[in-house]
């Protein structure tokens, strides 16, 4: 295993994280107005340059390359929050919790314990594309689910594989770079969850890609845990203020 702080990566996940590095950095500013990014654009560009340099640098130990990228991404995300471009704090509540031993839908839970690697007892069947520390928690919105169902789909909290379903948060602002406090857990949003064919069953037309983030603020999100803890139904879900 390769560790970055309290986060543990398999070698495969460390290498794939570096391969995805440019895309992960790009998500920080995707869709944001360029005129509001003037203060942070130099740091974002520096982070992209670092990713491009370390991705295939076999002369530098893998753990050093991964640690450098992890720190650079977090610094860029912090700068983005400090710029105010992600907006003010907001608050919702935890409407549903779910875990499984692999596959969807996940089973409902009243309380979940969350460690550095995610929900204790939760597992993804596909460990090649899941299980990286920046995918530790998967979260979604009841408002997004309700909007899909109003059009004839058959989604329910936990059906698409998310661990935590929240209500009341402006989902368009729960995006890479933002920080959430959910129950006693703090997490950083790193990426959108790419839809998979297992979720086709919930859509009237079978088009599971309608939940892809390219179609607007409809995607589940992935977050890295920065403070482990416990989440219980009805807990506050807070989009934290800028650093």
Whole-prediction pTM: 0.93
For residue 126, name the pLDDT band (cuts at 50, 70, 90). Answer: low
DSSP string, the chain: -EEETTEEE-HHHHHHHHHTHHHHHHHHHTTS-GGG-TTTHHHHHHHHHHHHHHTT-TTS-HHHHHHHHHHHHHHHHHHHHHTTTT-S-EEEEEEEEEE-SSSSSPEEESEEEEETTEETT---S-TTTS--GGGSEEEEEHHHHHHHHHTT----TTTTS-SEEEESS-GGG--TT-EEEETTEEEEEEEEPPP-GGGGGGSTTS-GGGGSGGGSTT--EEEEEEE-EEEETT-EEEEPPP-
Residues 165-184: tens digit of each pLDDT = 999 999 999 999 999 999 99
Residues 222-234: tens digit of each pLDDT = 999 999 999 999 9
Residues 107-117: tens digit of each pLDDT = 899 999 999 99
Beta carbons of 213 and 131 less than 8 angstroms apart: no
Domains of the chain with CATH codes: 2-82 (no CATH), 90-239 (2.40.33.20)
What's the rounded Cα separation, in Å, for the pair 154 and 193? 19
What's the rounded Cα separation, in Å, for the pair 212 and 194? 6
| For range 34-44, the mean pLDDT | 92
Task: Count the neighbouring beta carbons within 10 Å of the beta carbon of residue 121.
Answer: 11
| For range 131-147, the mean pLDDT | 95
Contacts of 37 (CB under 8 A, 6+ apart): 29, 44, 83, 85
For residue 82, name the pLDDT band (cuts at 50, 70, 90). Answer: very high
């Amino acid at each position: 295993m390769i560790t970055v702080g309290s986060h543990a990566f398999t070698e495969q996940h460390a290498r794939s994280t570096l391969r995805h590095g440019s895309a992960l950095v790009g998500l920080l500013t995707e869709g944001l107005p360029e005129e509001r990014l003037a203060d942070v654009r130099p740091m974002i560009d520096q982070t992209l340059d670092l990713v491009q340099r370390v991705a295939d640098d076999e002369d530098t130990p893998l753990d050093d390359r991964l640690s450098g990228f992890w720190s650079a991404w977090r610094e860029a995300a912090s700068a983005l929050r400090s710029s105010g471009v992600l907006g003010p704090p907001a608050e919702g509540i935890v409407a549903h919790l779910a875990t499984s031993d692999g596959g969807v839908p996940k089973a409902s839970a009243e309380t979940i314990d969350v460690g550095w690697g995610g929900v204790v007892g939760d597992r993804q069947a596909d460990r090649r594309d899941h299980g990286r520390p920046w995918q530790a928690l998967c979260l979604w919105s009841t408002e997004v689910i309700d909007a899909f169902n109003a059009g004839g789909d058959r989604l329910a909290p936990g059906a698409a594989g998310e661990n935590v379903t929240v209500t009341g948060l402006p989902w368009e602002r729960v995006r890479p770079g933002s920080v959430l406090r959910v129950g006693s857990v703090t997490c950083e949003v790193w990426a959108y969850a790419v839809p998979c064919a297992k979720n086709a069953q919930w859509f009237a037309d079978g088009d599971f890609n309608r939940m892809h983030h390219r179609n607007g603020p409809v995607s589940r999100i992935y977050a890295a845990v920065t403070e482990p803890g416990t989440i219980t139904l009805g807990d506050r879900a807070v989009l934290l203020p800028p650093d």
